[in-house]
Chain A
Amino acid sequence: MPPSMRWSSVIPSPQTCAKQICPNAHLRAFSSSTRSNAGRTTRQRRLMFQWLDSQGAAFRDPLPGSTNYLTAYDNHGVLKRVKMARGSDTSSKPADEQIDGDELSTLGAKSNDSEEADEASNNTKTGGDENRLPPEGRGDRRPFPHNKSFYSEPVLSEEFREEIWRRIMKDGMSVREVSATTGVEMRRVGAVVRLKEMEKAWLSSGTPLARPYAQAVMSMLPQTQWNTRLDARRPHEPINSLPVHEATTLQIFEPTSESRHFTREDAARAFDENLLSTDERIPHPEMVAKEKDLLAGLPAELVAKRARAREDAEIEAKQKQQDRIAKKEAAIKKVDTGRWQFRIQEVKVDDAGVDGRGPRGTGWRYGTPLMDRSRGQIKIPTRVD
């Protein structure tokens, strides 16, 4: 069938056509086709932009001097803590309990109940004096309204990281010591120093740092500030946490006599033959030992001396272990060709076992399949040294 006839008077002129399809076409210097659904505004889309212009407007830009999460606002887009402050202007919060004692024991003792108390200290960064925001609470630091267990925990401030680096690299303190005195986990202390070293290398080689990004991100996150005053210092995180061992997740019935002095060691042994007790599984057993000495009423010099002796013993044990590893490594004959390092070791044929398929056997063995071509084998590296 031939196409239907069209009268020229019916066909609109190109100009009017363009105007109808895209009202803003005359504003552009070039011609372009618009997306098919660009002009389509569904009800949901309209509602979303309504929300973004009203309640959601607060999230567009960061809140100066504070975090800016969904849970900090009520349904009308008003900061909950501002509303609270307006409601109870006259009543003031009771001051946090004072803490005293020496650096190490203070932080250790406070690590358990610090979670609720550390809010005020973490909120040293505030806006201008005239329209100062009330300090944010832990409840304001939940990014997800429905997940009541996830909080945006404070990160170490730049100054704090610098202080940790200085203590390790300049003062020559041990990681364990720095962790105990600053209230930062040992693994984190190591990571901070490692990253800081890299940062210093970048600085000295003239590689530009991502400063604007770092400043913006740090202003959006809650921070633990470094406090030079010892009594005002709070631990960054609990440093003496006990990992829940799989063997202890099952309830067991352990019959024992009433008169038995059933300690933590006995409890560990009841769960598993090889399970160590709590005192040995926590990251800082030396803090417990020191606390014991203090409770026993030993003089301060003796406590310090015993602590030093324990530290020396630990260093010696570590050195011994390293020596053992070095000796084992030295026993391997190495031939360096420049392109490859050959490592020549003694191998016993018997290692392959009676059936020749033992896991310690060396070389390709007849009848033993190579699994690397079979289905489901993960080919991506599992570690990078």
Chain B
Amino acid sequence: MPRSRSFHTLKRLGGGKIRQSWNKINLYNLSRLLSRPAGVTHYQQKWKAKSTTRAYHGEQIREKHWERMFRSRLRAEIPMDINYLARHDGSELAAGRGSGRETRPRDAINLRTNNKKSFRIPYMHMTYAPMERRLDTAVFRSLFASSARQARQFVIHGKVKVNGKKMPYPGYMLNPGDMFSVDPEAVLFATGAPKDQEAVRSGRRLKRMQQHEARQEAEAQKAAEIRRTKALEAKRAQEEEENSQQEADAAALKQERENLDEAQLKKVQRKQINELVETAQVLIRDTQNEPSAKRKVELRSFVKSAKTVSNKMQRKDPEQVDKEIEELVTSFAKLTPSPPQAGEAAKREAKASKAAAEEKEALDTEFKKEYQKSLDAIMQARYAATDESKPYATPWRPRNYMSAFAFIPQYLEVNQNICAAVYLRHPIAKPNAAEVPSPFGEEVQQLAFGWYLRRR
């Protein structure tokens, strides 16, 4: 489904369509949106309301598809006061009314407040609630993508998992309790500021260089593999003479099963070392604050030692490898530069985070470890570095005009650190609040609801 040329339209006052996007044109249109749809007859008003609301709510979905999704039932919840429930059993509302009692007891009035208008449930804002169940919409609502279209692309490109399994269907309807996670690199790309032309060009150059290096390394590995298999075959041929093939196979299978856990552990360890190597390489390449020649030498020697550990780990005990990794981390933490003092805001933030960190330390002392601190320092250094291999501007900063669109609806619980979220429940309406994020007023929503309600 190609994006139409006029996705973000600039029209006369109130003419531009509002989209699920963080674009600046969209923000401008949003600031000039008219509260009532134009149109003379009721039918015209309904048509217009449907057309403007559908341009925002799931414009990527065919109308027929949405008509099938639409439900006239609108969910709502009313908060209850436990003290009131404990004091009364419900009979106080009716007691004595037959014998002339006119007013309700004070408690009952307080429950709903004196002004009935302030207890209204905005049901009409729930018209497009089924749309919020879609996976692509939920990814956009969790602030993992800068538009619903981009979220849809992420899903189709296999960057989104539901309950740990890849889910390539943007139309997957999330069930309450489903956890979805997006590839953090994709999220950083979607929400981060874009690179400038120069950075794009140098990034391309770097990529070409890396590809060339990778090709050479792969060839070298292939040659080594061939050598190794030949040696292994010779050895096996020797063994075959001693034992029968069947017996050896059974033994190998048994050994394999035993080694499975160890293999998995080693896989994790290898990943850890690879991350460290990658971070060191990023720091070497950093163009903004280029390391001194001495530091470069140190970093390169660190990379070498880390690679040695990685190459020799297959023959070693996992516990010993763990120790070696810890040593690597502490030695690397010493090499990382102290974070640059950027400005007032950064200082203030650092102060606040420091205060929070102190309190956290007081809460659980058992998790305070030198090792973890070193890891954090390494990560901080990596985030502060300029890494041209990334598709976004580094050090990472949010894209322009993001803050005007940054909100997370209550039916989602998001953990930004791992770019994952849980769809807690379906969106609901509450007194004076509705959970479906929509830029339109109640009148427009009501007209749209009326449009879809016909023939039902």
Contacts and interface: CB of A to CB of B under 8 A. Distances in A.
Contacts of A210: 184, 187-188, 416-419
Interface string A347-385: 000000000000000000000000000001000111111
B438 A155 contact: no
B383 interface: yes
Given A147-B438, A149-B125, A195 B33 contact: no
A61 B400 contact: yes
A383 B379 CA distance: 36
B10 A48 contact: yes
A262 B90 contact: yes
Contact of A56 (B28, B192, B268, B432): B28
Dominant secondary structure at the B interface: mixed
A59 B418 contact: no
Given A52-B28, A212-B395, A262-B91, A199 B415 contact: yes
Contact of B30 (A70, A198, A199, A278): A70
Interface in B359-396: 359-360, 363-364, 372, 375, 379-380, 382-383, 395-396
Counting chain A CB atoms within 10 Å of each CB, the highest count among B78, B98, B407, B441 belongs to B407
Interface in B413-454: 413-422, 424-425, 428-430, 432-442, 444
Given A48-B25, A213-B416, A279-B85, A143 B364 contact: no
B31 interface: yes
B126 to A, nearest CB: 10
B58 to A, nearest CB: 16
A240 interface: yes
B408 A44 contact: no
A328 to B, nearest CB: 22
Interface in B67-81: 68, 73, 75-81
A243 interface: yes
Given A149-B125, A246-B73, A385 B403 contact: no
Nearest to B434: A149
A56 B27 contact: yes
B76 A147 contact: no
Contacts of A128: 344, 348
Interface string A181-213: 000010110011011101100110111111111
B337 interface: no
A191 B83 CA distance: 28
A7 to B, nearest CB: 40
Counting chain A CB atoms within 10 Å of each CB, the highest count among B75, B404, B434 belongs to B404
B66 interface: no
Contacts of B94: 262
- Chain A interface size, as a band, is 35 or more
A196 B418 CA distance: 9
Contacts of A62: 398, 402-403, 406
A69 B405 CA distance: 7
B268 A205 contact: yes
Interface string A93-135: 0000000000001001101100100000000010110000000
B125 A111 contact: no
Interface in A225-269: 228, 237-238, 240-244, 246, 258, 261-267
B167 interface: yes
- Chain B interface size, as a band, is 35 or more
Nearest to B165: A384
A198 B418 contact: yes
A385 B163 contact: yes
B410 A153 contact: yes
A381 B162 CA distance: 11
A152 B89 CA distance: 35
Interface in A4-50: 42, 44-45, 48
A207 B275 contact: yes
B184 A70 contact: no
B401 A60 contact: yes
A155 B414 contact: yes
Interface of A: 42, 44-45, 48, 51-52, 55-56, 59-64, 67-70, 105, 108-109, 111-112, 115, 125, 127-128, 143-153, 155-156, 158-159, 161-163, 166, 170, 185, 187-188, 191-192, 194-196, 198-199, 202-203, 205-221, 228, 237-238, 240-244, 246, 258, 261-267, 277-279, 282, 284, 287-288, 291-292, 294-295, 376, 380-385
Interface of B: 10-12, 24-25, 27-28, 30-31, 33, 35, 68, 73, 75-83, 85-87, 89-91, 94-95, 97-99, 111, 121-122, 125, 143, 162-163, 165, 167, 169, 171-173, 175-179, 181, 184, 187-188, 191-192, 268, 271-272, 275-276, 344-345, 348-349, 352, 356, 359-360, 363-364, 372, 375, 379-380, 382-383, 395-398, 400-410, 413-422, 424-425, 428-430, 432-442, 444
Given A111-B82, A385-B163, 17 more contacts: A48-B28, A70-B30, A108-B81, A143-B404, A149-B429, A150-B125, A151-B433, A155-B408, A155-B414, A194-B422, A195-B179, A206-B275, A213-B416, A214-B417, A261-B95, A384-B162, A384-B163
The 5 closest A-B pairs by CB, nearest first: A258-B98, A264-B90, A152-B407, A214-B416, A206-B272
17 contacts: A56-B24, A62-B403, A67-B407, A111-B81, A146-B440, A150-B125, A152-B407, A161-B415, A191-B424, A195-B179, A209-B417, A210-B416, A215-B349, A220-B398, A266-B90, A278-B80, A291-B85
